[in-house]
Amino acid sequence: MEKTLEYYMELDYPVELSKIKPEEGGGFFVSVPLLPGCMSDGDTLEEAYSNIVEAKKEWFSSMIERKMEIPEPAEKEEYSGKFMVRLPKSLHKTLVQLSKREGVSLNQYVTNSLAYTAGQRI
């Protein structure tokens, strides 16, 4: 099956957006990491988004015309919300004590701790 421009435009490609410093002209820079060289900018978020949609069209059209391979985004993974962790008995004891002190279940305490730590890295 030959994949068309419309096919690729319907795929959900992750986009990276960053704010441009005022001393560098301001506005927003946007790119599609899976599509090397596919980038644009805009004075507003709306303009930057509209411009990256057009940039993707041009990028896909050029690749299709040259019969070059186009990377596709990975399928969205489904997550159950469960995972098993083995830890030292001393850490288990400490977590249980801390959760009791906070008045929450061990599961809730660990979930909150992980969410807080993960949020610090974003």
For residue 121, the model assigns a pLDDT of: 66
pTM of the model: 0.60
Tokens of 59: 């990028």
Please state which of the ranges 23-27, 59-63, 64-68 shows the lowest mean pLDDT: 23-27
pLDDT grade, residue 6 (50/70/90)?
very high
Closest CA to 95 of 81, 106, 79: 106
Mean residue pLDDT across the chain: 91
Tokens of 39: 């980038």
Question: Is residue 51 within 8 Å of 31, Cβ to Cβ?
Answer: no
